């Protein structure tokens, strides 16, 4: 889908996109461009497939059968208390197809890919960080510098379908750094939550936070496929996609999330960070990372 715009916390803005929590930014829905270090841009409508109830679900046991609490705790040594394992498991139940379609290896790779991308969006790590830079995912709950309501730039006053509520801000929040009023509105409609009038739910309720992340992951934003479909083999690149270098694999999830700033160019540190998290998690889950980890040769949307 598409996330958000200029970041208060120091991340670069996107093509209508956003940056991550640690580096500024957010997430949202649409077929527009990609956002900053932590997000995606655009303001198109959210697709329905893979939304509430998933795309038919599966019988593999879902996320909890792929990632145990012990492994989760080992992955996130410095996580914020908002991001409890139990909250993610509860959120995953909203989308039965999440980490529950395809082969066992597909499900493991999907879990690793989801966790890697949200880790990048919320990382508190740095190259010389204790335990290594990839042990610091899920550290920030919202855009740095926006905690006290100072980031008011994420309101599109022209949007009448999802108007900004008085006194509310729509900066990056949660694991996918949801940003902009129209993205809070779309996510709220899909999840049955009043996120326009109470956006702070995303930083006060861990299950709500993870539900916004899973909603983004599962929902295709035309012309983009969903990250879920990419990682489970349900997406087949069209002839045009193939000509533009788009291929199944972790790199394609980067293209969906933030292709405008991170893909179709020499690999930058943001992509290396995402891939670093992904390789750590696939190793911990005992699965080959698969092909096409990078997106430097993929045209963005």
Catalytic residues: 121
Q: Which residues contact 271 (CB under 8 A, 6 or more apart)?
A: 254, 262, 263, 294, 295, 296
292: region left, alpha or beta (phi > 0 left; psi from -120 to 50 alpha): left
Nearest alpha carbon to residue 114 among 53, 174, 176, 58: 176
Per the listing, tokens 């093509």 go with 15
Residue 90: C-alpha distances to residues 50, 205, 262 (Å) = 17, 12, 31
Percent composition of the chain: helix, strand, coil (DSSP 3-state, to 5): 35, 5, 60
Give the separation between CA 290 and CA 248, rounded to whole angstroms: 9
């Amino acid at each position: 889908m598409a996330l958000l715009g200029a970041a208060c916390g120091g991340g670069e803005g996107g093509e209508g996109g956003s940056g991550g929590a640690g580096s500024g930014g957010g997430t949202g829905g649409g077929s527009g461009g990609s956002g900053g270090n932590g997000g995606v841009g655009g303001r198109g409508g959210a697709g329905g497939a893979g939304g509430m109830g998933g795309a038919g679900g599966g019988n593999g046991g879902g996320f909890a059968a792929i990632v145990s609490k012990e492994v989760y705790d080992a992955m996130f040594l410095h996580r914020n208390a908002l991001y409890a394992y139990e909250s993610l498991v509860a959120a995953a139940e909203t989308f039965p197809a999440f980490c529950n379609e395809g082969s066992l290896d597909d499900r493991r790779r999907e879990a690793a890919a989801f966790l890697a991308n949200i880790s990048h969006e919320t990382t508190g790590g740095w190259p010389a960080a204790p335990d290594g830079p990839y042990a610091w995912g899920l550290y920030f709950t919202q855009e740095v510098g926006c905690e006290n309501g100072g980031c008011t730039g994420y309101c599109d006053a022209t949007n009448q379908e999802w108007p900004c509520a008085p006194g509310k801000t729509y900066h990056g929040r949660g694991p996918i750094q949801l940003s902009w009023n129209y993205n809070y509105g779309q996510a709220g409609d899909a999840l049955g939550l009043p996120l326009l009038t109470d956006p702070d739910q995303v930083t006060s309720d861990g299950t709500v936070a993870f539900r916004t992340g899973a909603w983004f992951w599962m929902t295709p934003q035309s012309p983009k496929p969903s990250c879920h479909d990419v990682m489970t083999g349900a997406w087949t690149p069209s002839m045009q996609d193939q000509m533009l270098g788009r291929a199944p694999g972790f790199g394609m999830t980067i293209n969906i999330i933030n292709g405008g700033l991170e893909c179709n160019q020499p690999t930058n540190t943001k992509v290396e960070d995402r891939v670093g998290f992904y390789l750590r998690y696939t190793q911990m889950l005992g699965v080959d990372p698969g092909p096409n980890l990078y997106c430097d040769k993929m045209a963005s949307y």
